[in-house]
Amino acid sequence: MILLAIYYVIAITVLILHFTGHLERWGLEWLVLVLAATVFPAVIYL
């Protein structure tokens, strides 16, 4: 359960940074793709 909470905190942080433009500035837009790829196993696990 703790891992799921950590996952959600990271996901929300990445989304906020994406929509505010910080990830693009820092060259970390690939984090959004990594997050999208990890959604499917997390949903299947639940």
At 12-46, the pLDDT tens digits run 999 999 999 999 999 999 999 999 998 887 677 76
- Exposed, middle or buried by CB within 10 Å (0-12, 13-18, 19+), for 18? middle
For residue 42, the model assigns a pLDDT of 67
Rounded to 10 deg, the angle between the 2-20 and 30-45 helix axes is: 150
Domain that residue 8 falls in: 2-45
Total residues found in the chain within this entry: 46
- Exposed, middle or buried by CB within 10 Å (0-12, 13-18, 19+), for 19? exposed
For residue 31, the model assigns a pLDDT of 94
The count of domains in the chain is 1
Q: Is residue 2 predicted with pLDDT exceeding 80?
A: yes
